[in-house]
Each structure stands twice: as C-alpha cells, then as structure tokens.
Amino acid sequence: MNTKRLGTAKAVLLSVLILPTMTLVASLSVFSGALAAPVAITSYDLDQSPRSGFGCWSHTYFGFITNVGRTASALGYCNLDGNQLANYRNGYGTLNDQIISATAADNHLFSIGLADDGLPIHPVITLRLASPTRVTAINVFGGTAEYFAPPGALTGATVEIGTASAVIPVTPVGTANALGIFPDGTLNLAGTSVASVATTTIVLRDFTAAFYGSPFDQFSLTEITVEGTSIITVAIDIKPGDPRNLVELEDPIPVAILSTSTFNAPAAVFPASLTFGKLGTEASLLRCQTSGKDVNGDRLPDLVCIFNSRKTGLGRSDTVAMLQGATVQGAAIQGQDRISIDD
C-alpha cells in the first residue's frame, strides 16, 4: 500500500479533507422525485478514470476495466493498482446503483489534474439509457460526508448528445455540508442545443471543479440520474407509394405515420403536435387526414399528414427527414425516413 502524500501545507490540508474521516447517515431527500422515477441508466463507460483505491476512495464497476498505461499517485492510493488510470467498458456500478454514499466508499473519485507523466487527465463519462429520451436534466450526487472536499466540487461539464454539444454549469441543489459545499447539483439542459435531441447515449467531458472558488483538480460522484421524456419510436413513410421518397422542395410533402399491431396511429397520435423537417422540430404541418388510410398494405390504418416543404428546412444535400410529436395521452413520438431531393 502506498500512502505517499504531497509535502506542501496545502496538500496536507486537502488530503485531510479528501480522505475518509467520518460516516454520516445518507440523505436521499435532495431530489425528492428524481431517484423515484429517473430515466434508467442501464450501463456506463469511463475513459481515463482513476481506479478504485485512488486517494483511498473506493468504487465498484461490473464490466471490463483496462489500464491505459498512465498513473496518478499524488493523492496516494490504498489498492495495489489504485494509482492506475483505466478505461471502463460495458458495465454498471457505483454511478448507477441508486446508493448515495456518506463516506469515501461506493464513491467514485475522479481527477482532472496532472498524471505522473505531467500531462492532464481528461475523464469522459458515457451514459447509456434504457430508451430514447429527450434529456432535460442530469443530476450529480457527490456524496453526503460532511468534511470531504470533492463532493460538490464539480462545477460544470460539456454534455454531448448526438452531434450536438453544450457547456452546462452545475447548479447547486439541497443543503450545504459542514464545509459550506453543496454536494449535489443539476446540469439543466433546458434551452440548450442538446435538449431537443432524442438519444440513448449521453457523453460528459471537459469537467471543471472548484474548491472555495479556486480551481480544484478532483471531484467525486456517488450517483448520476437522468431526467427527461422517453420517446416512442414510430415508423414513417415519406411520399407513400414512392420507393425513392422523392421530395420536391416547392410541393407539399405527404408523410404517413404507420400503425402496428400495438400502435394505432390515427387513434393514438395528436395531429396538432406534429413537427417535421431537417431536425424534426420545424413547424411545417398543413393538415392531417381525418380518417386512417392503409398505405403499406398491412391492413392497418395509417395516419397521413401533409407538410409545407418550404418550412421544413430541408435542402438539396439532406438525405434524412425527421418527424416529432405526441400521442393523445402526452407521450412523445419520433420517427425518421430517408429522402431524395428532386433536382
């Protein structure tokens, strides 16, 4: 076991704050509804993460862990390989076990400082969701131990969803601990470029952290939860009957929402909610048929709607168009189909 600590007075102070000193009763009241019914995180990956034992903090992960050949030893480590930086793949563990830790156990300590090679550590967290979701918020829990510095140190991150990304600050939530730090917080995606994109994958990178207003090189996470609206994926057929889905940008565009044995499109879809175009958010609806029409020969009634091509945002280089909307019961729907543009 290596218990080496930095020799400066500041490092000594921080090591006292970082290492386990006491056990408190965990509080789950910070997000009164968030833990009860979050969007399920089925698994997660990590890049450049210190392994369990780093700084004498411990976490669990049930998946594949591979050392990357870099080490971080400045905070000491309490496991044989606790100073190793590693990639974690296709697993689950501390970050999605629904346990809010009150100690340095079951609490993942991350570093955004320098590794032993003198180069920065850039951790990446990739979350995988149970179903396509429009994400509204990501809740981060640092742990409830009163005299730890890393819980609540996280101040922001870049959130990537699909090809969109946004730098999101962490808004403190709940009650400050004995150090005056709010250990939990929220990355609020409302109004950002990543909020309207349905996804099953969220990437968090470029983390920032602070301790009493000064940049800090570490943060802890004992749990992450995701809030959002789950999406029902529907099959659509642009220009029904045309195998090329040939779109003329000056003409109205018919789009059929196809029914299945478990989804009656004419009865289930709320027509006024429909948007269609390049991103799927374009307000281009002209009208929908009042009765269903079987457009694909499966003897099930489909819902055919007409959209204004000039309001779709589609251009000659586009090969896919998106539809979004809601059911009459308020569930979100989304579908896409390939297109070709008439020259």
pTM: 0.73
**Nearest Cα residue to 247 out of 209, 277, 219, 218:** 277
Domain check: are 176 and 31 in the same one? yes
- Assess if residue 241 is contained within a domain: yes
Domain check: are 243 and 117 in the same one? no
Q: What is the CATH number of the domain that holds 68?
A: 2.60.120.1190
Domain C-terminal end among 181, 200, 230: 230
Domain check: are 47 and 134 in the same one? yes
Give residue 126's pLDDT. 98
**pLDDT tens column, 266-278:** 999 999 999 999 9
Give residue 196's pLDDT. 75
Question: What residues contact residue 13 under an 8 Å CB cut-off, 6+ apart?
Answer: none
Domain check: are 156 and 239 in the same one? no
- Assess if residue 277 is contained within a domain: yes
Domain check: are 213 and 258 in the same one? no
Domain check: are 68 and 131 in the same one? yes
Domain check: are 239 and 208 in the same one? no
Three-state secondary-structure class, residue 331: coil
Domain C-terminal end among 185, 207, 230: 230
- Assess if residue 2 is contained within a domain: no
Give the residue ranges of the chain where pLDDT is below 70. 1-37, 343
- Assess if residue 212 is contained within a domain: yes
Domain C-terminal end among 230, 246, 273: 230
Domain check: are 78 and 187 in the same one? yes
Domain check: are 72 and 112 in the same one? yes
The 10 Å Cβ neighbour count of residue 215 is 12
> Domain count of the chain?
2
- Assess if residue 93 is contained within a domain: yes
- Assess if residue 255 is contained within a domain: yes
**pLDDT tens column, 171-226:** 999 899 888 899 999 999 999 989 877 889 999 999 999 999 999 999 999 999 99
Q: What is the CATH number of the domain that holds 284?
A: 2.60.40
- Distance (Å, whole) CA 119 – CA 37: 40
- Assess if residue 3 is contained within a domain: no
- Assess if residue 1 is contained within a domain: no
Three-state secondary-structure class, residue 15: helix
Enclosing domain of residue 283: 234-341
The partner residues of 161 in beta bridges, in order of sequence, read 164
340-341 and 236-238: which strand pairing? unpaired
Q: Please, what's the b/e burial string for 243-267 (b: 16 or more CB within 10 A of its CB; e: otherwise)? A: eebebeeeeebbbbbbbeeebebbe
Give residue 4's pLDDT. 29
Domain check: are 119 and 206 in the same one? yes
Domain check: are 205 and 250 in the same one? no
The DSSP line for 102-151 is: SSSTT-EEEE-SB-TTSSBP--EEEEEEEEEEEEEEEEEE----TT-SST
Give residue 19's pLDDT. 41
Quickly tell me which residue has 């779109």 as its tokens. Answer: 247
Give residue 100's pLDDT. 95
Give residue 7's pLDDT. 27
340-341 and 246-247: which strand pairing? parallel
Domain check: are 302 and 172 in the same one? no
